Structure 1
């Protein structure tokens, strides 16, 4: 955590978060400063939309067979807008460095690079929508034990086992999800 901000960190939703959109959510914080925070959920796949389907719908031809990875629901804000989390071996004119070897690009150019098959980015995850917080909101939610934070790793960001990502992130902290309750306490 640099300068008191959480960019490049993972948020792990605590049980009893009270918002079904974030139950067992795992979110990569892509931007965070004193005015706002923005992140993309990593474990909410759309069951009926793959990356090749989306590229086809957008009229982006592919020169190779693209893996049928599921597109993610990145969050409840701007669900019609696409965001690509990708390795930082690809840097477009509008890419945002997230940290932990990851960047975020929300322009068509990264989709065209993925379809071109040049090997850059070497790994990518496409999401529709994002999660957002106003000034101080995320910090307050963390203080209220709504979220735990942990270091991001490539498998949690780019891996395909969406059903186990939340549990694996908790495991990184040594937390057994079976021992978590829906009510937060204070020591």
Structure 2
């Protein structure tokens, strides 16, 4: 269904609409690492009912949502942000998007209300691929690759809207896919 594009660090991976793996059904992944050794990214639209204040004692009143970034290392917490000016840290994965950073500065920015939910996402776990595995999945049309997108898409809180906007961003040839029902057999 999808055409193959070249993935790179900062690409969005958009699952084909009827992916059989329920962990990645209608998912959008921000690719934070992509090299000959493998790939790492975070599912941007799999929000949990857990809030970061429930996990971190230092910010008990913080209601920022936590997302399931993927099936690997779900006991670990990760984050991406757009506020290098506040955290002065993080690895830039796309223009204006940073992976990780100074946790103390992050906590302080949250406590002083200087960082907002549309500038930061927390993840438990990540999505990972061994060397060549992601390339194979792209060739099998499991994923579409989008390299040009507005960085605010990363921080969209509505998971279904994020997936639809990412599909539409692939161009007019794919826009109709955004309207596919989640379970076509039920129609």
> How much has 1:12 moved relative to structure 2?
0.3
Which stretches of structure 1, 4 residues or more, deviate above 6 A after TM superposition?
none
Equivalent in the alignment of 2:128: 132
Equivalent in the alignment of 1:19: 21
Q: Distance in 1 between matches of 2:59 and 2:144?
A: 41
Which deviates more, 24-33 or 111-120? 111-120
Corresponding residue SS for 2:168:
helix
**Equivalent residue in structure 2 for 1:91, among 88, 92, 101:** 88
Corresponding residue SS for 1:40:
strand
Q: How many residues of Structure 1 are paired with residues of Structure 2 in the alignment?
A: 169
Equivalent in the alignment of 2:35: 33
Aligned runs of 1:37-56 on 2, under 5 Å? 37-47=39-49, 49-54=50-55
> How much has 1:69 moved relative to structure 2?
2.9
Aligned runs of 1:59-78 on 2, under 5 Å? 59-61=57-59, 66=62, 68-78=63-73
Q: Distance in 2 between matches of 1:179 and 1:16?
A: 9
Aligned runs of 1:95-110 on 2, under 5 Å? 95-105=90-100, 108-109=103-104
> Which runs of 5 or more residues in structure 1 are unaligned?
181-187
Instruction: Name whichever structure is richer in helix by fraction.
Output: 2
Task: Give the alignment's TM-score, normalised by structure 2.
Answer: 0.79
Tell whether 2:165 aligns with 1:168. Answer: yes
